[in-house]
């Protein structure tokens, strides 16, 4: 299960990745692999990552060593060929050990999924192969100073000079930007384009400069190291994806984001719930014949956890059924469903962790017990403001105004 094997070989470069023998698409194998990585390379460093606000190198290096940074790249391009459900299984398990590590992987997968589905030049396809073969870590720059958190508008634009592009963007957040090998940035197609006429640009580490414009001293998700930067990038013009970003966003980025994020928050909720359950079990063993005070809250906590899991899994099934149908993924019903998944899951994770805290009492409130829930609670509060729920609710209301009864 945990033995390392030599992975796919690139026919051009001769480079290889390393992948666990359990890189088969079976969900149980993936879950076991993720738990091994979480136990050996993520959990031992999670408190330090959170306390110091540092990048979780150990966990990401382990994922890279297992070939999982290329998980969503097709096998014919050197990756593992995983779909969103398989990626979500790993993210969900990692989140139980360290939400920051899981979030880095989730955000990486989101960008890779966009490239895999929408690469429209041989250069972009070749670069997608490089992600798998070289296990490159991909970040994104989709928001911009001056437009708030609206990912569907840009002030900056791509400048084309011959066969090269130039791009300068003030990004209020580029998660793990100092540690990524690649940044996918959005920008207006050209100087004359409307704010919503955007394209996606591959910016390679060796051809970018990043000047920090803000720090990342936050309540939770501290290990994502999401500082703001002025990004200056150059590169070959054929690394500019000409597919409208509106298509990329509706068809791939939004649904994959909400599904992976919801799976991550589900993992956090499951960890909090199981800690509470273990706390009650341990208390019951110490006082045989009595019912621990927090036990009465357990049924509602377990029900909330199971309800969240059922919702996430049902929306995952829905997406997988229509993922290759652009008309269906652009439909109002589906868009509203994905928006509400994000809002619901990000709200429920806080409620579930809060309920677990009441079950555990002071043992959950303290930072020095095996049942501590402080970090989980702080990370959980980040879910609602990561693409603000109020913004999503406003967008959903606009969609509902034109939705027709079926």
User: What average pLDDT does the chain have?
Assistant: 92
| Residue 1: how many other CB atoms lie within 10 Å | 9
Helical H segments across 209-331, by residue range: 245-248, 254-286, 298-322, 326-329
Task: Say yes or no: 322 and 362 in one domain.
Answer: yes
Last residue in a domain, options 217, 243, 269: 243
Give yes or no for residue 21 having a pLDDT over 60: no
Average pLDDT in the 367-392 region? 94
Q: Is residue 139 within 8 Å of residue 180, measured between CB atoms? A: yes
Q: Which of 104, 136, 168 is the last residue of a domain?
A: 136
pLDDT score recorded for residue 24? 52
Overall pTM surpassing 0.85 (yes/no): yes
3 band by pLDDT with thresholds 50, 70 and 90:
very low
Please tell me whether residues 298 and 394 are part of one structural domain.
yes
Residues 23, 142 contacting (CB under 8 angstroms): no
Distance CA 104, CA 201 (A): 20
Percent of the chain topping pLDDT 70: 94
CATH classification of the domain holding 235:
2.40.110.10
Distance, in Å, from the CA atom of 250 to the CA atom of 330, rounded to the nearest integer, reads 6
Q: What mean pLDDT is predicted for residues 238-260?
A: 96
pLDDT at 19 over 70: no
Interacting residues of 148 by C-beta distance below 8 A, sequence separation 6+: none
Whether residues 129 and 147 fall in one domain = no
Q: CA-CA distance, 387 to 335, in Å (whole number)?
A: 15
pLDDT tens digits, 336-345? 999 999 999 9
Question: Looking at 191, 216, 243, which one is the last position of a domain?
Answer: 243
Overall domain count for the chain: 3
* Residue 18 bridge partners (DSSP): 6
Tell me if residue 197 falls in helix, strand or coil: coil
pLDDT of residue 125: 97
CA distance 353 to 254: 26
Q: Are 50 and 144 in a shared domain?
A: no
- Please report the pLDDT score of residue 75 as a whole number: 95
More confident residue, 278 or 148: 278
Do residue 256 and residue 393 come from a single domain? Answer: yes
Whole domain around residue 262: which residue ranges? 246-402
Structural contact between residues 202 and 111, judged by C-beta atoms closer than 8 angstroms: no
Q: Contact at 8 Å (CB) between 256 and 341?
A: no
> Are residue 387 and residue 261 in the same domain, yes or no?
yes
| Rounded alpha-carbon distances, angstroms, from residue 197 to 180, 244, 353, 383 | 26, 7, 41, 28
Q: Would you state the pLDDT for residue 257? A: 97
**Residue carrying structure tokens 């009441």:** 358
CATH code: domain of residue 256:
1.20.140.10
Higher pLDDT residue, 24 or 339? 339
Rounded to whole angstroms, the maximal C-alpha distance in the chain is 80
- pLDDT band for position 25 (cuts 50, 70, 90): low
Q: Distance between CA 56 and CA 271 in Å, rounded? A: 19
Residue 318 confidence class, pLDDT cut points 50, 70, 90 = very high
Across the range 101-113, mean pLDDT stands at: 98
| Sole residue written with tokens 């972009």 | 124
Please indicate, yes or no, whether residues 166 and 228 belong to a single structural domain of this protein: yes
| 166 and 215 assigned to the same domain | yes
Q: Which is higher by pLDDT, 13 or 367? A: 367
- Split at pLDDT 50, 70, 90, the class of 15 is very low
């Amino acid at each position: 299960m945990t033995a390392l094997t030599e992975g796919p070989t690139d026919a051009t470069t001769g480079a290889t990745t390393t992948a666990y023998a359990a890189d088969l698409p079976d969900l149980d194998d993936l879950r076991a692999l993720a738990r091994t990585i979480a136990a050996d390379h993520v959990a031992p460093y999670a408190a330090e990552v959170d306390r110091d606000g540092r990048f979780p190198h150990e966990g990401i290096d382990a994922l890279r060593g297992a070939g999982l940074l290329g998980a969503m790249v097709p096998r014919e391009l050197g990756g593992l060929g995983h779909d969103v459900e398989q990626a979500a299984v790993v993210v969900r398990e990692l989140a139980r050990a360290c939400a920051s590590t899981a979030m880095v992987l989730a955000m990486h997968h989101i960008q890779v999924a966009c490239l895999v589905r929408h690469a429209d030049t041989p250069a972009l396809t070749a670069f997608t192969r490089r992600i798998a073969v070289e296990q490159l870590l991909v970040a994104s720059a989709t928001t911009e100073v001056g437009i708030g958190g609206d990912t569907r508008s840009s002030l900056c634009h791509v400048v084309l000079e011959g066969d090269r592009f130039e791009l300068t963007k003030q990004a209020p957040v580029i998660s793990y930007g100092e540690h990524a090998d690649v940044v996918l940035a959005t920008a207006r197609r050209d100087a004359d384009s409307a704010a919503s006429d955007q394209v996606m640009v591959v910016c390679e580490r060796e051809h970018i400069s990043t000047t920090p414009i803000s720090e990342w001293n936050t309540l939770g998700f501290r290990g994502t190291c999401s500082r703001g930067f002025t990004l200056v990038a150059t590169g070959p013009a054929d690394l500019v994806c000409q597919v409208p970003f509106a298509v990329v966003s509706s068809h791939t980025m939004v649904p994959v984001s909400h599904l992976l994020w919801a799976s991550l928050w589900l993992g956090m909720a499951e960890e909090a719930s199981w800690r509470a359950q273990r706390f009650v079990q341990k208390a019951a063993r110490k006082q045989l014949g009595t019912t621990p005070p927090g036990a009465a809250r357990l049924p509602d906590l377990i029900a909330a956890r199971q309800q969240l899991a059922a919702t996430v899994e049902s929306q995952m099934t829905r997406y997988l059924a229509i993922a290759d149908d652009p008309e269906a993924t652009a439909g109002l019903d589906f868009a509203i469903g994905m928006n509400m998944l994000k809002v619901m899951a990000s709200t429920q994770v806080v409620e579930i962790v809060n309920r677990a805290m009441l079950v555990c009492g002071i043992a959950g409130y303290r930072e020095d017990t095996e049942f501590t829930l402080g970090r989980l609670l702080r990370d959980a509060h980040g879910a609602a403001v990561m693409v603000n729920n109020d913004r999503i609710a406003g967008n959903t209301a606009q969609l509902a105004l034109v939705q027709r009864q079926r």
